[in-house]
């Protein structure tokens, strides 16, 4: 949490507040005092409420909670608010609530007030003043936009994952980088800096300094396919930095991809019928403060009349929601 | 084999010829006499040379061969030519050759002449007169274009599979149908006949005749995601008939998808620098004779000066290549 994202001062209370932000790659717990001052954080493995098996999700929650809270203060825990990717409604929310209950019981915290949210809800609550209504956009490995009303998501756009959507996400950028390389190898597209970087990452040494390449076009096709199909699709997001780097050096293919990604993200917001002056909370690696698409996104949402605030993650919001839970303000 | 695709009369010989066409979903063996007259066929499971484990591939080859050849004629086998998806070069070709050798040994056919081809090569050889030079396009579950020279593939375009390419394929059409449905559910696109058909397939009864829908938009999102992510991606090709059917009834979204698919297929050919009057052999469920994209493709390749011939599959070509092998014509 940066100073700028410091929690608003909540009504004083001795107890501790726990916020959890559980996403597709990481489960992170935040422990704060009633004034929102951070006491500890703890990380563990994936926390998607629809994609992680219950036993693993319980284990990740316990690990993150244990690491975030010194044992001697655990008894002071008053409330836990947890946001899960896939946990905003329906079966995902039920899964998440059941797993969180088991994790809290295992830590002797069964009497603590708890509430389950979607990741979009805790991200939005990380905005200024623990806002209750507006738009949220998450662009990390995946990409989801949502409308929040009364601190609950009432509409979602995209977030359909690598097979069906997430255009403009980190996965999407990584996959498009690979596709750009394959088009070049197939003789269907230009072979610029981005393509060189991708080929060098996936087939190091494929081109010798002198003489013909060590690997011909048909072999390159196979090497790229082997690389891509031998890992989980979401791992293609790992190629994102190559796109960002090539873009910074002016590669036209990379710049075009980054612009298209920002267009795709803005399109999701446009589908939410934004009103003039509405708050947009933006988070996820691509659009969090300093993220590679943050400026591009801001340039696209300003003409839509949106007031964009970028936050690092949903941790601040989860802790704030725990505070509101304690005080029965919601 | 339709009469139109009957093999050319090869130089007479007593021995039998075996052709194999092994693709991502099926391995099919053809047994013919030296004049190309079909004696038997046999089917088995997937035969992709890069995607099927060796033991399974050997088993599928043996099953298909056994079913195609009456036991009493097996000893008359003179040559086997086998085309494998992924088997045109490199590691895939080595895998295919090793597995075919094992299968033939198991059937007591270790002395038989054999040769391994890519699926594009046997498909092209199914064209009129066992042609040796030109273009080939396969559009079934996947989509690959290639240039054939001396009956061997010398260049490939696409065929990169569901994660990285295959635009215009059956998988691609099925995925786009799902994406069209998701855009409608998200309020980002029209809800026409194609969308209704997809939703009814995936979430039967989601809408009641009277009253509000049994399933709301957020639940539909989850139902669609559960359906799509719980099966192999290539299985999305199973939605293709919904697109074709909705297109026949004039649904604009379906018609637009079918047109885009044909555009994507023609784009692959354009990358192969086709010369005027060159032969194009087209096969695969979408563009084989009577296939739903056959007319659209023909309309796009005619202005390119290509002479398109659609064939049902690579079986005729595989048998013909076996015949050429026997006679040492190649």
Predicted-complex ipTM score: 0.86
List, by residue range, all CATH 3.30.420.40 domains of chain A: 3-126+313-326, 132-310
Query: Are A310 and A282 spatial neighbours (Cβ–Cβ below 8 Å)?
Result: yes
Question: CB A163 to CB B187 under 8 A?
Answer: no
Taking residue A49's Cβ as centre, other Cβ atoms within 10 Å add up to: 29
Tell how strand B113-118 and strand B77-84 pair up: parallel
Measured distance between the N- and C-terminal CA atoms of chain B, rounded to whole angstroms: 24
pLDDT score for A13: 44
pLDDT score for A212: 66
Which sign, positive or negative, has the C-alpha torsion A66, A69, A73, A75?
A: negative
pLDDT score for A6: 47
Confidence band of B218 (pLDDT split at 50, 70, 90): confident
Taking residue A221's Cβ as centre, other Cβ atoms within 10 Å add up to: 22
- Smallest Cβ–Cβ distance between A233 and the set B50, B163, B228 belongs to B163
pLDDT score for A12: 42
Question: CB A188 to CB B271 under 8 A?
Answer: yes
Question: Could you tell me which CATH number the domain at B131-310 has?
Answer: 3.30.420.40
Residue of A nearest to B226 (CA): A50
Angle between helices B252-270 and B170-185 (to 10 degrees): 140
Give pLDDT tens digits for B75-91. 899 999 999 998 988 88
Q: Mean pLDDT across the stretch B273-278?
A: 89
Query: Are B196 and B203 spatial neighbours (Cβ–Cβ below 8 Å)?
Result: no
- Of residues B26, B95, B30, B25, the one with CA closest to residue B323: B30
Q: Give yes or no for residue A10 having a pLDDT over 60.
A: no
Confidence band of B329 (pLDDT split at 50, 70, 90): very low
- As a whole-number percent, the residues of chain A with pLDDT over 70 amount to 93
pLDDT score for A5: 46
pLDDT score for A89: 85
pLDDT score for A211: 66
Q: Mean pLDDT across the stretch B163-172?
A: 96
Q: Mean pLDDT across the stretch B238-267?
A: 97
Confidence band of B213 (pLDDT split at 50, 70, 90): low
Which whole-number Å values give the CA distances from B54 to A89, B47, B57, B101, in the listed order? Answer: 44, 10, 5, 11
Considering chain B, what is the average pLDDT of its residues? 90
- Of residues A324, A320, A326, the one with CA closest to residue A36: A320
Taking residue B41's Cβ as centre, other Cβ atoms within 10 Å add up to: 18
Give pLDDT tens digits for B3-25. 434 444 444 447 899 999 998 88
pLDDT score for A209: 64
Give pLDDT tens digits for A115-135. 999 999 999 999 999 999 999
B158 neighbourhood in chain A, CB within 8 Å: 186
Which one of B48, B90, B137, B186 would you mutate to disrupt binding with A, by most A Cβ within 10 Å of its Cβ?
B186
pLDDT score for B8: 45
pLDDT score for B25: 82
Query: Are B115 and B101 spatial neighbours (Cβ–Cβ below 8 Å)?
Result: no
Q: B276 at the A interface (CB within 8 A)?
A: no
CATH C-level class of B3-126+313-326: alpha beta
CATH topology of domain A132-310: Nucleotidyltransferase; domain 5 (3.30.420)
- Smallest Cβ–Cβ distance between A163 and the set B156, B218, B229 belongs to B229
Confidence band of B51 (pLDDT split at 50, 70, 90): confident
Q: Mean pLDDT across the stretch B199-224?
A: 80
Q: Mean pLDDT across the stretch A246-257?
A: 97
pLDDT score for A9: 44
Q: Mean pLDDT across the stretch A63-74?
A: 91
Distance CA A325, CA A233 (A): 37
List, by residue range, all CATH 3.30.420.40 domains of chain B: 3-126+313-326, 131-310
Q: Mean pLDDT across the stretch B300-329?
A: 90
Please give the structure tokens belonging to residue B50: 């890069």
Query: Are B21 and B315 spatial neighbours (Cβ–Cβ below 8 Å)?
Result: yes
Which residues on adjacent β-strands are paired with residue A18? A31, A80
Distance CA A43, CA A65 (A): 8
Q: B147 at the A interface (CB within 8 A)?
A: no
Angle between helices B170-185 and B193-202 (to 10 degrees): 100
Query: Are B23 and B46 spatial neighbours (Cβ–Cβ below 8 Å)?
Result: yes
Distance CA B46, CA B28 (A): 9
Helix (H) or strand (E) holding B241: helix B240-248
Rounded to two decimals, the pTM is 0.88
């Amino acid at each position: 949490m940066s100073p700028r994202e410091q929690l608003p001062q909540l009504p004083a209370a001795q107890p501790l507040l726990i916020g959890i932000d559980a996403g597709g790659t990481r489960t992170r717990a935040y422990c704060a005092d009633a004034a929102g001052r951070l006491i500890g954080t703890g990380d563990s493995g994936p926390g998607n409420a629809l994609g992680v098996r219950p036993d693993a999700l319980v284990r990740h929650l316990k690990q993150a909670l244990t690491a975030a809270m010194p044992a001697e203060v655990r008894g002071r825990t008053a409330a836990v608010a947890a946001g899960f990717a896939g946990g905003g409604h329906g079966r995902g929310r039920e899964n998440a609530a059941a797993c969180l209950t088991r994790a809290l019981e295992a830590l002797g915290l069964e009497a603590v007030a708890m509430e389950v949210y979607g990741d979009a809800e805790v991200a939005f609550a990380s905005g200024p003043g623990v806002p209750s209504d507006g738009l949220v956009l998450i662009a990390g490995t995946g990409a989801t936009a949502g409308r929040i009303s009364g601190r609950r998501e009432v509409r979602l756009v995209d977030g359909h994952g690598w097979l069906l959507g997430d255009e403009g996400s980190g996965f999407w950028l990584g996959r498009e980088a690979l596709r750009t390389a394959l088009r070049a190898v197939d003789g269907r597209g230009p072979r610029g800096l981005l393509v060189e970087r991708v080929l060098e990452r996936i087939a190091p040494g494929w081109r010798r300094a002198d003489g013909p390449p060590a690997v011909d076009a048909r072999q390159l096709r196979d090497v790229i396919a082997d690389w891509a199909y031998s890992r989980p699709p979401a791992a293609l997001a790992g190629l994102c930095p190559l796109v960002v780097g090539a873009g910074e050096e002016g590669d036209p293919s990379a710049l075009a991809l980054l612009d298209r990604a920002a267009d795709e993200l803005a399109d999701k917001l446009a589908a939410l019928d934004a009103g003039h002056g509405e708050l947009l909370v933006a988070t996820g690696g691509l659009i969090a403060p300093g993220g590679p698409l943050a400026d591009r996104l801001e340039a696209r949402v300003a003409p839509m009349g949106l007031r964009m605030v970028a936050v690092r993650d949903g941790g601040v919001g989860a802790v704030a929601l725990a505070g509101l839970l304690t005080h029965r303000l919601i």
